[in-house]
Structure 1
Amino acid sequence: MENKLSVLEDVYAVIEDRKANPIEGSYVCSLFQHRKGMDKILEKVGEEAFETVLAVKNGEKDRIISETSDLLFHLLVMLSANDIPLEEIAEEFKGRRH
């Protein structure tokens, strides 16, 4: 049985690869190489969080899904930029289950 959430690991792996092996024209690479660095990544996280909140407020399911996907993507970029693997986030969640 396929773990549908493994796509997050796949996306994170691509982000990590782009960080280590920049490809010209890659959006991920542009975030890592932006002259403002972390500020640009955090700006995108904030922008996508706001857009997600608005979609929820307006009850727009398709937009909620789309904006949440954008938000999760930019959160993964933020984690990668801070050298935080998904496993550490998973461990944090596990610790909170008790």
Structure 2
Amino acid sequence: MVPEEVEILSRLSQTLKARKGASPNSSYVASLYARGVDVMARKVGEEAVETILAAKDRDHPALVREIADLWFHSLVLLVDLGGSAQEVLNELTRREGVSGHIEKAARQDAQPPQGVES
């Protein structure tokens, strides 16, 4: 990614943080925050389904738009829960060059057995 592409994620993350204390009537993002995690998570799910449908239709322009919506709403949820775009970029950097099978196995090995709380 060129710096401008990374910068937009940083700027968006900052804007989303700034909206956290805003009146729900002042912006779409502030209204999502006011409605809570369940609504935001549901919105991420809706955008994921719309992404899948655009892919199945092989509609490239729609797919790009839906992925943008998915990223946006995922970031809204992440910021609401105290995270940032930089954390996701750091995680992607950490995974770079690691086989997907190895990375997934490492995550599964780190999980406590079912029925056991950590």
Common fold by TM > 0.5:
yes
Q: 1:23 deviation in Å?
A: 5.9
User: Between Structure 1 and Structure 2, whose CA radius of gyration is higher?
Assistant: 2
Runs ≥4 in structure 1, deviation > 2 angstroms?
20-25
Could you say which structure has the greater relative contact order, defined with CA pairs below 8 angstroms and 6 or more residues apart?
Answer: 1
Unaligned runs of 5+ in 2: 98-118
Let me know the Cα RMSD of the aligned residues.
Answer: 1.7
Deviation, structure 1 residue 55: 0.2
Aligned residue number for residue 16 of structure 1: 17
User: For residues 5 and 63 of structure 1, what CA distance do their matches in structure 2 show?
Assistant: 22
CA distance, structure 2, for counterparts of residue 17 and residue 68 of structure 1: 23
Residue identity over aligned pairs, in percent, reads 33
Corresponding residue for residue 43 of structure 1: 42
Aligned counterpart, 2:66: 67
The TM-score, its normalising length taken from structure 1, stands at 0.87
* Cα pair distance change 1:85/1:2, threshold 3 Å: closer
Q: Deviations over 1:22-44 (max 9, x none)?
A: 4623100110111xx10000010
Aligned residue-pair number:
96
Asked whether the equivalents of residues 75 and 84 of structure 2 are also in contact (C-alpha less than 8 Å), the reply is no
Query: TM-score scaled to structure 2, two decimals?
Result: 0.73
